[in-house]
Every structure is written in C-alpha cells, then in structure tokens.
Copies of this chain bind each other. A is one copy, B any other.
C-alpha cells in the first residue's frame, strides 16, 4: 500500500475531469465526491473508480458538458434530466435542487433520470447536514442482485442513505446497500480461492452456494435478509423501492435494464428509459422541531445506544457511521492508502493524458 494526501488525489482527479472538457466547477465537484469516499474508507467508490470514469469519458459514453434541467416540477417535488452527465456532477446538482426546495417549501424531493454512477450515497446526505436538513439519497445501479426466489440478476445493490446531525456528537450517517453483501467481497474471495458465507450468493439455478465463482459465472447476489426465513423478501422489497423511486418515477432505466457503470459489464437486453436514476430528499429540521433541540435529542440517542449492554464477544453497539468517522479522522491526518492496482490505474491515466502523477 502506498499513501497519498487526500488533496493530491483530489487535484489529480480534478485535472482528469478537466482534460475531458468538464467545467472547472464540475470537475472540482466530481473530484470532491471521490475524495470523500476515500477519506471515509469506502475505497471501492473513490479514486479506485477514476479509471472507469476515464474510460467512459474517453469513449464519449458520458457527456462531459451536460445541460442538467428540471423537466417536471411541482413546488417541493420535481424530476431532473441529467443529460447523460457524470453522476458525480448530476447527483450534487440534483441534491442542491432538493435542498433549495426544502429551504423554500420545507422539503424537497428530486427524482433523476439520464444520469450515471454517483459515488457514495452518503455524500449527498452529508451535504444536507451542512444546512440543518435531513438528507436522503438513493440510486439504482447495474443488476447484480436476484429478487427472492429468482435465479437471475434483476436489481442493483441499490443503496439508501440518510443522515441526522448531533450537537456534540458526530452525525448518525446511514449508508447501506440493500444486498446482503457487496460484490467486491465476492471478487476478493474468488481471488483468494476462499468460500463466502452462506446467504450472500446464489448460482445460476438460484441455489445458495458458497463458491464465489458460482455467483460470478451467471449467479447473483442475494438481497439483505438472504432467504425467506431470514427476511430476504424484505431486502428485495427495499431494493425494489429504491429502483422505483430512482428510476420508474424519473423515466430512467429500472431493474435489469440499468446500463452498466463500466465498459466490461453486460449491456441490458433493452432500454426502458434514459440512463440510471437517483432520488434525493431534503427536509428542514426546523419545520418539525427547534434545530438545537433536535440535535440534543440525537446526542442523547447516540449516547443511550452506545451504552447498550454489549453482546458477549463483541465490543458493543456502534452508531451508524462510526467506522467511517474513525477512518476519516485517521486518513485526514495520515493520507489515503492505495493498492498497487489502483496506483497503476492512476499511472495509466497519467500516461494517457499527460497529467503528472508522482508515486
């Protein structure tokens, strides 16, 4: 692992986006989303993905200069067309619209079509915290997950994020994929030749398996809850909710028709809309309760839950967002550790664009 300063990586990402004619403001915005992901320790969504954005921009599959616009609107709600821009640009812009609506109407809700991969879901709920709002964020993604009792990939890992501010405590930050496990974990197990836990994946007949190759070769991830007994119908329903709010409601491609994020992924059998979809919400806390009172109540919630009697053999209950808060504190001081494969990807971008990247 080699470590880089967060600012250095952010500046490099910005230059890469600028290289494709992305505006300065948008390039900085896109780099900021990747940067927060790296700072929070969500390595899969940071500069590790820059090469994929680079590929898509190189091939003209993503519009570097989108004309993002509201295509339907009613006071606190609207639909935004992202004009096939970077999700890292369309997402923040649509989220901004949700927050402006919230400032004006008490809440704002934006369904987005014609967009692309938007980074970590919690980037957007963090933004709402800066304005004393409760922010919601969801996106659909390329199919990987089977609905309960299905034997094929029909839904993405469709994350949900929402965040709540404390007064003295760091915020409660919920950011969860609606699958039982992340696809990255299946890939890691395969590279190691190790089995995965029962409940993560099925093979192409829809049977549970612990062999990661079975999933990769035509199988699927299972939804949160895994099987019927443990509530797999609930994870499937939550993933369906995300799919519908982000993509049926906005006019994007839903379910198995969501276009792939990366070049090597399978192209859907047909198109039922434009791009993928996001959904953002913002609610003014002040519309419900005095903001300071709410934050004090959140502080107390955090303290009470942290003091839950611990399960034997564990260090006790965490607050959602705790692991990432801890990682962020370390990485802001010590920098971002990158795997050799990621460093090589960045060097390759550097070579192809002439943008310097020093290791």
Contacts and interface: CB of A to CB of B under 8 A. Distances in A.
A135 to B, nearest CB: 12
A298 interface: yes
Given A231-B224, A240-B174, A311 B207 contact: yes
Interface residues of A, number: 91
B74 A286 contact: yes
A64 interface: no
A286 B107 CA distance: 17
A209 to B, nearest CB: 12
Nearest to A74: B287
A229 B308 CA distance: 21
Given A284-B77, A311-B207, A289 B151 contact: no
A241 B301 CA distance: 12
A107 B76 contact: yes
A95 interface: no
B255 A304 contact: yes
Q: Number of copies of this chain in the oligomer?
A: 2
Nearest to A286: B74
Given A75-B105, A234-B224, A301-B255, A197 B149 contact: no
Contacts of A199: 229-230
Contacts of A244: 164, 172, 298, 301
Contact of A288 (B78, B288, B304, B312): B78
A311 B206 contact: yes
A87 to B, nearest CB: 19
Contact of A74 (B256, B284, B320): B284
Contacts of A151: 308-312
Contacts of A77: 106-107, 283-284, 287-288
B305 A180 contact: no
Given A76-B105, A289-B79, A317 B150 contact: yes
Given A151-B310, A202-B311, A308-B147, A176 B238 contact: yes
A1 B89 CA distance: 60
Nearest to A150: B308
A237 B163 CA distance: 11
A152 B311 CA distance: 8
A251 to B, nearest CB: 6
Nearest to A272: B300
A233 interface: yes
B146 A109 contact: no
A272 B74 CA distance: 37
A92 interface: no
A316 to B, nearest CB: 6
B249 A72 contact: no
Contact of A206 (B207, B297, B314, B320): B314
Given A149-B311, A154-B308, 12 more contacts: A75-B104, A111-B289, A147-B308, A149-B315, A162-B241, A174-B240, A177-B234, A181-B230, A205-B312, A233-B318, A243-B301, A249-B294
Nearest first, the 5 closest Cβ-Cβ pairs linking A and B are A206-B311, A74-B287, A77-B287, A74-B106, A150-B308
10 contacts: A79-B289, A149-B316, A152-B308, A152-B309, A162-B241, A174-B237, A174-B240, A174-B241, A206-B312, A243-B301
